[in-house]
C-alpha cells in the first residue's frame, strides 16, 4: 500500500513543469461508411477550424520498443489557460514539457475538448469534443490532431454520442465508447480501412483502455443490475470478456479499516501491462465530517484482485485544514511512461478546490500543489515515444 509521506516540491514541477456484430464468441459484420472529416489548421493549431472533407489522416507506422525511449510532453484538457491562468469559457487542449514549461495551445475555446490521449509515437492526439445539443442530445465526437501536418480530423460514426478514445499500441486503431440510443457499447475504429467494429453488446460498457501489448482491452461494465459497475477485460476482438474488479468489496461504511467500496470505473493499464489504475466510490458515514461517498484511486494486479489505495491515507484525519485531510475525491489518474509515477487530481466535494497531485511509486511519497489550480480539469496523458517530436 502506498504510504502517506510527503514528497519534495520538485515533484509538483514534474507535472506543472466500426461495427463487428458479434457477442463474446460470435462472428463479425462490419459497417464501412465511417468517413473522416479533416480540417487544415495554421501552425499554431489555435485557430477555429473550418470543417472540410479532405483525405483522412493516415495511421502512424508501428514504433519499435526501445528501453530508453523519449519522454514526450504532457497533453491536458483544462478550463484554465495553462500559460496565463485565465479562466476559459470551455475546456481546451494544451501541451507542456515535463519540467512545467508551457508549450502550446492546441484548440480554440469555441468547443469543449475532453480526455486527450497521445498516439504511441507521440505524433497525434485523440480526444472527444462536445459539439452541443442536437435534437435534445449532446453531440460528442471523436477527433484527433496530427502534429506533423497540423490537421484536425474527426471520425464519423453512426452515433451521436462518442467518448473516451484510446489508441492501440501500433497506432492503427482507436477504441471508444458510443451510444446507439439504446445503450453504451465499445467500438474500434480502424484508421487504415475506416471501418468500425462493435466489441460489446450486453448491458452498458464504457471507459475502454488498450493494453500495452495490444491483445486486450480493459473497460467498465454494468450488466446484471442498473448502475452497478465493475471492471472487465476482453481480447482486442471482443472475445473472452471477464470481470477482473468486482462491483463492490469491503465492510460497513463506518468501518475505519475496511471501508465499503463500490462502482469501480475508468481503468488505466500500466505501461508494463501487469496492473491497472481505477477509481472507485468509497461510502462515508462520519458524523460532522461527511455523509455520502468520495472517489479514491486504487491499483490492482491484472491476474489477481488485490486492491491497494494509491494514497493509503488515514480515515481518522478529519481536520479540513490538514493537507492530508482524507475526505477528498481523487480523479483521472495517468501513468508516467516508465510506470514509476502517477499524476491525478484531488477535489473537495461540491467545490472547485482541486489540486494536481503526483505519487512516486518507488517510495510512496506524494504531494499536491495549491488548491484551485486544477478546476475545470478533464483528463491528461503522458506519452513515451521512440521518435523525436515533430518540430514547428
Task: For residue 218, give the 3-state DSSP assignment.
Answer: strand
* Closest by Cα among 159, 217, 130, 148 to 31: 159
Beta strands in 211-249 (DSSP E): 216-222, 229-235, 242-245, 248-249
Measured CA to CA, the distance from residue 383 to residue 392 in angstroms comes to: 19
Q: What is the pTM of this model?
A: 0.80
Mean pLDDT for the stretch of residues 126-151: 82
Question: How do strand 102-105 and strand 275-286 relate by DSSP bridges?
Answer: unpaired
| Residue 280: its H or E element | strand 275-286
pLDDT of residue 210: 96
The structural architecture, per CATH, of the domain 10-43+69-385 is: 6 Propeller (2.120)
Measured CA to CA, the distance from residue 150 to residue 316 in angstroms comes to: 51
Whether 263 shows a pLDDT value over 90: the answer reads yes
Dmax (CA) of the chain? 60
In degrees, rounded to 5, the angle at the alpha carbon of residue 79 between the alpha carbons of residues 74 and 84 is 75
Task: For residue 317, give the 3-state DSSP assignment.
Answer: coil
Q: If you ran DSSP here, which 8-state letter would residue 86 be given?
A: P
| Residue 267: its H or E element | strand 261-269
Whether 221 shows a pLDDT value over 60: the answer reads yes
pLDDT of residue 219: 98
Measured CA to CA, the distance from residue 144 to residue 153 in angstroms comes to: 5
pLDDT of residue 211: 95
Whether 83 shows a pLDDT value over 80: the answer reads no
pLDDT of residue 1: 42
Whether 238 shows a pLDDT value over 90: the answer reads yes
pLDDT of residue 100: 57
pLDDT of residue 72: 64
pLDDT of residue 229: 96
pLDDT of residue 53: 28
Q: In this structure, are residues 80 and 92 in contact, taking their beta carbons and an 8 Å threshold?
A: no
Whether 57 shows a pLDDT value over 90: the answer reads no
Residue 12: phi and psi, rounded to 5, are -65, -35
Q: In this structure, are residues 154 and 142 in contact, taking their beta carbons and an 8 Å threshold?
A: yes
Measured CA to CA, the distance from residue 152 to residue 147 in angstroms comes to: 9
Measured CA to CA, the distance from residue 376 to residue 211 in angstroms comes to: 28
Q: Which residues pair with 206 in a beta bridge?
A: 220
* Closest by Cα among 301, 285, 205, 203 to 250: 285
Write out pLDDT tens, residues 163-196.
999 999 999 999 999 998 889 999 999 999 999 9
Q: Tell me the three cell numbers of residue 28.
A: 463479425
Least confident of 3-12, 153-162, 198-207: 3-12
Percent of the chain with pLDDT over 90: 33
Write out pLDDT tens, residues 312-364.
888 888 887 888 888 888 988 899 888 889 988 888 754 556 777 889 988 88
User: If you average pLDDT over each of 36-50, 153-167, 200-214, 276-290, which comes out highest?
Assistant: 200-214
Whether 281 shows a pLDDT value over 90: the answer reads yes
Amino acid at each position: 500500500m502506498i504510504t502517506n509521506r510527503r514528497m519534495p516540491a520538485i515533484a509538483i514541477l514534474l507535472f506543472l513543469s466500426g461495427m463487428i456484430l458479434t457477442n463474446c464468441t460470435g462472428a463479425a459484420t462490419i459497417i464501412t461508411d465511417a468517413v473522416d472529416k479533416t480540417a487544415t489548421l495554421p501552425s499554431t493549431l489555435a485557430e477555429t477550424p473550418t470543417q472540410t472533407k479532405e483525405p483522412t489522416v493516415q495511421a502512424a507506422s508501428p514504433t519499435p520498443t526501445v528501453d530508453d525511449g523519449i519522454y514526450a510532453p504532457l497533453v491536458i484538457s483544462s478550463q484554465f489557460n495553462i500559460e496565463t491562468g485565465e479562466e476559459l469559457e470551455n475546456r481546451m487542449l494544451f501541451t507542456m514539457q515535463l519540467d512545467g514549461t508551457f508549450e502550446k495551445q492546441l484548440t480554440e475555446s469555441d468547443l469543449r475538448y475532453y480526455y486527450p490521449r497521445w498516439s504511441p509515437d507521440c505524433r497525434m492526439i485523440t480526444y472527444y469534443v462536445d459539439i452541443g445539443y442536437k435534437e435534445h442530445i449532446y453531440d460528442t465526437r471523436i477527433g484527433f490532431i496530427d502534429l506533423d501536418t497540423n490537421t484536425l480530423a474527426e471520425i464519423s460514426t453512426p452515433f451521436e454520442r462518442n467518448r473516451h478514445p484510446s489508441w492501440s499500441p501500433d497506432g492503427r486503431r482507436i477504441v471508444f465508447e458510443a451510444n446507439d440510443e439504446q445503450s453504451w457499447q465499445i467500438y474500434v475504429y480502424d484508421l487504415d480501412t475506416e471501418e468500425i467494429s462493435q466489441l460489446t453488446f450486453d448491458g452498458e460498457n464504457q471507459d475502454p483502455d488498450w493494453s500495452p501489448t495490444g491483445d486486450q482491452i480493459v473497460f467498465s461494465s454494468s450488466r446484471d443490475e442498473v448502475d452497478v459497475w465493475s471492471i472487465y477485460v476482453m481480447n482486442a476482438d471482443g472475445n473472452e470478456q471477464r470481470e477482473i474488479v468486482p462491483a463492490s468489496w469491503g465492510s460497513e461504511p463506518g468501518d475505519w479499516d475496511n471501508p465499503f467500496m463500490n462502482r469501480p470505473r475508468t481503468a488505466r493499464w500500466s505501461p508494463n501491462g501487469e496492473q491497472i489504475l481505477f477509481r472507485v466510490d468509497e461510502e462515508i458515514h462520519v458524523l460532522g465530517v461527511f455523509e455520502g461517498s468520495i472517489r479514491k484511486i486504487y491499483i490492482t494486479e491484472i491476474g489477481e484482485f488485490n486492491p491497494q489505495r494509491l494514497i493509503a491515507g488515514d480515515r481518522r484525519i478529519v481536520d479540513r485544514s490538514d493537507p492530508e485531510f482524507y475526505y477528498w475525491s481523487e480523479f483521472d489518474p495517468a501513468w508516467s511512461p516508465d510506470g514509476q509515477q502517477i499524476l491525478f487530481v484531488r477535489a473537495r466535494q461540491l467545490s472547485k478546490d482541486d489540486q494536481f497531485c503526483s505519487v512516486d511509486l518507488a517510495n510512496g511519497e506524494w504531494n499536491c500543489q495549491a488548491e484551485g489550480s486544477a478546476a475545470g480539469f478533464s483528463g491528461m496523458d503522458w506519452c513515451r515515444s521512440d521518435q523525436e517530436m515533430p518540430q514547428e
